[in-house]
Structure 1
Amino acid sequence: MVQPRKNADAKPYYFYVLLCADNTLYGGFTDDLEHRLATHNAGKGAKYTRPKTRRPLKMIYHEVFTDKSSALKAEYAFKHQPRSAKLKYLTAHGVTF
């Protein structure tokens, strides 16, 4: 019988928000924040962050989750809001601009 993984051993997943050089916001998810930011800044990340006009990118917020599904849901919810709601969300979570 296979034993389920204990939460203490589970890999963390993150929802994160990047501030682009053109002052736009990008939300994503990952299991390695440092590597993902480096990938975006190298122009090899998401299609949205590839243009040179959007780089450099700065990580301004991240939130940790114990499962991939929850991180993906947070990303989806963030991306499907108008900019004003995104800014309100970030301010409510202690991000200052």
Structure 2
Amino acid sequence: MTTKQSPRTPIEPRDLNAPFFNLRETAWLLHCSYETVRRAIKAGLLPCSQRVPGGVIVVTREDMAEYHRRTRTSVVRTRRSTAKPARAAA
């Protein structure tokens, strides 16, 4: 028996060089969930378009790259001190 995949599960795009991606493909490319992509669109952080009202929502490669550039977090690495803290006097 085969199992059905959820319609909200991120999937790998068939063509990684395509100019447009649907929401599931966008989620896979951004390494996030389908719901995160929908929230970003609703908040106005990720532009999207539809050819017809009620149709498939698509995101352009350029918009996705701009969203990633604006929202990615950088890792700040701090240097760990190798010196041990001073002992209290007895």
Q: What range describes the TM-score normalised by the shorter chain of this pair?
A: under 0.3
Highest relative contact order (Cα 8 Å, sep 6+), 1 or 2?
1
Greater strand percent: which structure?
Answer: 1
Greater helix percent: which structure?
Answer: 1
TM-score w.r.t. length of structure 1:
0.27
Q: Which has the larger radius of gyration?
A: 2
